[in-house]
């Protein structure tokens, strides 16, 4: 049974707009991050290039799990069913209630939602507990509820290995010829706007803590510390979390997919898994010797799967990316 999986992915992405956060009026610019590279003299120097945050990658892994899980009729809280980031929540009439979901208790939250279990949550809300006494010298108020579940899925930033400067282009909606009643309020059908696009070879690393899916840490030491175990749906959740990585590798990992799907080409996929215990994170593919260094840090009993063109001892080479996912899901 799988305990832990790591992914190291290298992929070419041409003409993408996966992480645009700098917005001023009708101009949207792509996110740029500083990082270190080694020059021809072997010296380290600072550079900057378009990058995609780990939060964005994690969100799109969440989205892939959500869409696949709904098709498989797996359980979701009412917030995660619609992709609401404030989770967990349940419908209270026609509105979502975060408080009522939390008050069900950790075990019920995990049982009722695949995504709250796997991607975690943070709840910090005022409860309905006993009010403090003003006579005791404290201001009157409700007792708070604070509950946190750490994510079982972890991501690095998507960082460039080779990149070119982003290019800003002008878009315009095509005017239909009809005017809007609200044109004095700024509603117009034709409006030029600027967006930036980038291209390059990128990489990311990720870890999936399989052993902690369904687990309640406070129950460690009990005969069964799992709210969801292998007999009532835990294996389905693990397979779902693994399958979601397919969609990230294909470029479904950021913004503007409605009009700027990246021209993507996978270059290398390097996966480590353990059926014994947790694993360190792999060395990033932004470094040329990442495979040999990763092999040198992983504990005994680790299994290494590779898809790509490199020749490397100590790894199991797969002809198709699908074969990696097939082996992982077969180990569940």
27-30 and 121-126 as β-strands: parallel, antiparallel, unpaired?
A: unpaired
Q: Is residue 316 part of a domain?
A: yes
Residue identified by tokens 């696009």 is 197
Containing structural domain, residue 203: 4-72+150-330
Cβ neighbours of residue 302 under 8 Å, at least 6 residues apart?
A: 272, 273, 274, 279
Q: Is residue 99 part of a domain?
A: no
Residue identified by tokens 């956060």 is 21
User: What is the pTM assigned to this prediction?
Assistant: 0.86
Is 274:1 a contact under the CB 8 Å cutoff? Answer: no
Q: Is residue 22 part of a domain?
A: yes
Q: What is the CA radius of gyration of the chain?
A: 23
Q: Is residue 233 part of a domain?
A: yes
Q: Is residue 107 part of a domain?
A: no
Helix-strand-coil split of the chain, %, nearest 5: 25, 35, 40
Residue-level pLDDT, tens digit, the chain, 332 residues: 999 999 999 999 988 777 776 665 556 667 888 888 888 888 888 988 888 899 999 999 999 999 999 999 999 999 999 999 889 999 988 899 988 898 888 999 999 999 999 999 988 775 555 444 444 444 455 566 678 899 999 999 999 987 666 555 565 555 655 665 666 655 555 566 677 788 889 999 999 999 999 999 999 999 999 999 888 899 999 999 999 999 999 888 777 777 778 889 999 999 999 999 999 999 999 998 999 999 999 999 999 999 999 888 899 999 999 999 999 999 99
Q: What is the pLDDT of residue 42?
A: 82
Q: What is the pLDDT of residue 166?
A: 56
Q: How many domains does the chain have?
A: 1
Nearest to 228 by CA among 66, 81, 112: 112
Q: What is the pLDDT of residue 22?
A: 62
Q: What is the pLDDT of residue 75?
A: 96
| For helices 321-330 and 234-249, angle between their N-to-C axes, nearest 10 degrees | 170
C-alpha atoms less than 13 angstroms from C-alpha of 84 in its C-beta half-sphere: 18
27-30 and 192-208 as β-strands: parallel, antiparallel, unpaired?
A: parallel
Q: Is residue 45 part of a domain?
A: yes
Q: Is residue 108 part of a domain?
A: no
């Amino acid at each position: 049974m799988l305990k832990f999986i790591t992914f190291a992915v290298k992929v070419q992405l041409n003409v993408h707009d996966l992480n645009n956060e700098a917005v001023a009026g009708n101009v949207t610019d792509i996110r740029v991050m500083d990082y270190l590279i080694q020059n021809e003299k072997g010296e380290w120097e600072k550079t900057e290039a378009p990058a995609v945050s780990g939060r964005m990658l994690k969100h799109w892994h969440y989205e892939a799990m959500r869409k696949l899980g709904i098709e498989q009729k797996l359980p979701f809280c009412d917030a995660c069913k619609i992709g609401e980031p404030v989770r967990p929540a349940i419908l209270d009439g026609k509105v979502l209630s975060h408080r009522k979901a939390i008050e069900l208790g950790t075990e019920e939250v995990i049982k009722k939602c695949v995504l709250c279990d796997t991607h975690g949550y943070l709840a910090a809300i005022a409860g309905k507990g006993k009010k403090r006494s003003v006579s005791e010298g404290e201001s009157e108020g409700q007792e708070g509820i604070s509950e946190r579940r750490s994510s079982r899925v972890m991501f690095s930033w998507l960082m460039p290995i080779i990149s070119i400067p982003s290019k800003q282009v002008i878009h315009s909606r095509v005017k239909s010829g009809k005017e809007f009643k609200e044109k004095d309020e700024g509603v117009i059908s034709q409006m030029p706007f600027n967006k930036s696009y980038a291209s390059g070879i990128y990489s990311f690393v990720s870890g999936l803590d399989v052993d902690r899916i369904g687990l309640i840490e406070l129950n460690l030491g009990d005969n069964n510390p799992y709210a969801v175990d292998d007999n009532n749906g835990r294996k389905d959740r693990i397979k779902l979390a693994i399958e979601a990585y397919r969609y990230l590798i294909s470029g479904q990992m950021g913004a503007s997919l409605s009009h700027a799907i990246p021209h993507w080409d996978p270059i290398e996929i390097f996966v480590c898994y353990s059926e014994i215990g947790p694993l360190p994170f792999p060395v990033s593919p932004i470094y040329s010797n990442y495979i040999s260094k990763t092999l040198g840090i992983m504990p005994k009993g680790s299994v290494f799967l590779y898809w790509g063109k490199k020749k490397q001892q100590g790894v199991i080479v797969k002809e198709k990316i699908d074969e990696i996912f097939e082996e992982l899901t077969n180990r569940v």
